[in-house]
Structure 1
Amino acid sequence: MSYQGKHARQRTVPSWIAGSLIATLLATSATTQALTLEERRELDLSGYTVRDPDASYFDIEERMALLQETNNSLLMQRREELANYAPSCRQRLDIPTITEKMRIPGFYPTPDDWKLATEPLFKFEDTVSELAGTYVASGNEYYAECLVQFLDKWAQDDALLDFYYHWKEPQAWFSLESMIFAAGMAYSVVRPNVDGLGEEKGRVEEWLNELASVHLEIEGAESSCCNNHFYRRALYASMIGVLTEDDDMFRFGVSAIYSALHDMTEEGAFPMEMERGRRATHYQNYALLYLIPIMEITHRQGYEVYEMEVNGRSMHDAVDFAMDILEDPSALGDLAPRDQYTGFLKDDQYFAWMEMYRARFEESRFDDILAPMRPIYNRGAGGYATLYFMDTDVQSHLVIDDEDRRETQAFEGLARN
């Protein structure tokens, strides 16, 4: 099955997000039964509208001012690396767009083929994040304008709009998720401060909205409709909904917060991620990698989502549970095996969400994980997270981590070190 589109804004998220009151629906069950697609469609999120289309997922001007004045060595080093080794705009504009039908092999059966097929996709994500980060680090509008021009080239070529999807072969659909939110989040960083380029920005926004709309037409199979892949789609929907002042799309993003809180167990676990068995800890953390940026985007629109509770549970409970099982796998109880895969503890990209949450709530519990990881970078979900979020008083120098300690941590968990 192939999906295509041609800048049709009327194809935005169907206006099904209306109906019965949220409180009535969510209070009907204190169990961990996941919201069905039908129940999610009935959520009345009409109170959520885009209030500030220029609000990114962090305060750009405030952060840029801080970075120019800081004497924090870690932030200064990251800033100088980006500013002094900045990308060539011409080289970035020479990167070919992807206009042929995307069909990506599965990772687990054919990892080598998957790696080869996804290289140009990852290059796109790195490029948009790099240009946005270089703009923040340098303050040079040249890089902001370059990002607009780069995305405009893809928009004019109708790139990424043609992809193969079958529920047994969803990899192209999965891969597009991160490409869309990488583009949306990076663009949100530069858009407010690019003077001129009105036509280019208009084409970019129309393309982003259509790309998101076409992708959202597919609800996914039994699991991907409602697990971390739903949160990934909600991340781009919330950001692009804001950028294009598309309230329905923004509400789709917000619906992930309600769904996650509804589905959460008393412990704070996401049940569908617990079904991953030995990778339950990884996927609890992975879900937060997308949910926390959605929370930040929604909070930046003026909504106190961190205070939101469903059945007495908030997103703080999910965060606490993630830390509990990272520190001590026995906290999983009967939800998953205690013998957990923790190799992801060696990869900083999975902890961009912690940098965001740490900055907002000054949660020092994260520091043992974050300190040796910094500077943290995720090419899609947050970009240069340490540069954008870390408080200047938290850490001033790189931590040269003991490789033996890191290996032990990756195999035994945090509490055993």
Structure 2
Amino acid sequence: MKRILMTGALVAALPAPALMAQEASDVSCIEVAEPVVSLDYGSRYTDESEDRSDLDEASNDAVDAALGPIDDFIVALTGKANDAARDGDAEAAACVVDALAVWAEADAISDLESMNANLSSPSRFGAMALAYLQAKSAAEIDPDQAEVIEGWLVERARHATQWFDTEAPTMASQNNLRAWAGLAAAAVGEAAGNDYLKAWAHTTFALVACQADEDGALKWEMERGPRALHYQIHAVAPLVVGGALLQDDGYPTFEMCNGAVHRAVEFIPAAFEAPEMVEEKAGEPQTFSTGEDELKSFELAWAEAYLSLFDAPEIEAFVEEYRPLGNSKLGGSQSALW
């Protein structure tokens, strides 16, 4: 989020008035849903699916129902955050901050009662941290609100770091889910100036990316059978955006392990050009090849961050037809950020 971080530094240097806190009942620019404090649900996949690729429709619907209010809030939040970032809109920034303060004061997403709740929550509070970063780029934040929001985000992120280090299952502790926890730690670390979280994020990106083989295939994603390529793309998103967030802090995310992140990125267009390469690694035809899945724009939103840092004609050409690129879990409209 280089553009956002640079803009934020300029805002901090100006004598602009701070954003003033509002009571929750005064928040009208974003319809703030009741904060979700507790999450408790099982897996999206059938019990018999050893490679975690066969969806259980009923369980999948239950997970969507539990996460739906959070995801809807994130979509609304990132829309306003993009307005703040793109136009330097202080009123939009105030909307974001006021809405986040409601969830922070309620200690949202703090009661995680199942393994799967712990696995999926980092991408949610990480998205909120990315929205908050955009608000900070547009206006000064009232110190009291900043303390509440940043304190809450740090608590959520510290819980995630401990959980992934000590309790996560073997696969999840090293695959795309770990990478999304890394992005959350990077975003919160940048938002709150927390060096521990930024360092943990970099270590996490190394853990995930350095498993890439010479072609760029990520080991644990290739274990996902017919959805291996889907999960490769899902893992690349936090690796790229998280690495870009940490770029100005001196973390060599893109250089580590002989350019492992670059290889993982380049594997994606190569895999669509030569599907047999993924089929050989995963042991099965991929859902993109069989017609079960269709590549969507939001899955490639990470490319704008990558292209803001590197000259990559093959990636540029591959994503062109999918523009504009946006993903609420990555901060919304990527053209507003990078």
The reply to whether TM is greater than 0.5 is yes
* Residue 256 of structure 1, aligned match among 199, 204, 214: 204
Conserved 8 A contact 1:89-1:143? no
CA-CA distance at 1:105 after TM superposition? 4.2
Conserved 8 A contact 1:293-1:382? no
Letter in 2 for 1:318: A
Answer with 1 or 2: which has the greater Rg.
Answer: 1
- Gaps (5+ residues) in structure 1? 1-56, 65-87, 390-417
Matched, 1:58 2:10: no
Conserved 8 A contact 2:222-2:232? yes
Instruction: Map 1:55-134 onto structure 2 (within 5 A).
Output: 57-60=1-4, 90=28, 92-99=30-37, 101-107=38-44, 108-109=55-56, 110=58, 111-134=60-83
Aligned length: 303
Aligned CA RMSD, in angstroms, stands at 2.3
State, as a whole percentage, how many aligned pairs show the same letter: 22
CA-CA distance at 1:260 after TM superposition? 2.9
* Residue 286 of structure 1, aligned match among 225, 234, 240: 234
| Distance change (3 Å), C-alpha of 1:176 and 1:115 | same
CA-CA distance at 1:212 after TM superposition? 1.2
Matched, 1:326 2:272: yes
- Gaps (5+ residues) in structure 2? 9-25, 45-54
Higher helix share: 2
CA-CA distance at 1:93 after TM superposition? 4.9
Conserved 8 A contact 1:352-1:377? yes
Match of 1:349 in 2: 298
Conserved 8 A contact 1:124-1:179? no
Match of 2:110 in 1: 161
SS at match of 2:210: helix
* Residue 362 of structure 1, aligned match among 292, 296, 311: 311
- Distance (Å, rounded) in 2 between the aligned partners of 1:385 and 1:192: 15
CA-CA distance at 1:63 after TM superposition? 8.0
CA-CA distance at 1:319 after TM superposition? 1.6
* Residue 299 of structure 1, aligned match among 220, 234, 247: 247
TM-score normalised to the size of structure 2? Answer: 0.82
Instruction: Map 1:145-156 onto structure 2 (within 5 A).
Output: 145-156=94-105
Conserved 8 A contact 2:86-2:337? no
CA-CA distance at 1:338 after TM superposition? 5.7
Provide, for residues 105-162 of structure 1, a one-character-per-residue CA deviation record: whole Å limited to 9, x for no partner: 4333223333322210111211221111111233220010111111111111111111
Letter in 2 for 1:128: L
TM-score normalised to the size of structure 1? Answer: 0.67
Letter in 1 for 2:69: P
Letter in 1 for 2:173: C
SS at match of 1:271: coil
CA-CA distance at 1:243 after TM superposition? 2.1
CA-CA distance at 1:226 after TM superposition? 1.0
| Distance change (3 Å), C-alpha of 1:201 and 1:263 | same
Letter in 1 for 2:234: Y
Match of 2:256 in 1: 309
- Distance (Å, rounded) in 2 between the aligned partners of 1:261 and 1:103: 30
Conserved 8 A contact 1:147-1:187? yes
Matched, 1:188 2:126: no
- Distance (Å, rounded) in 1 between the aligned partners of 2:187 and 2:244: 10
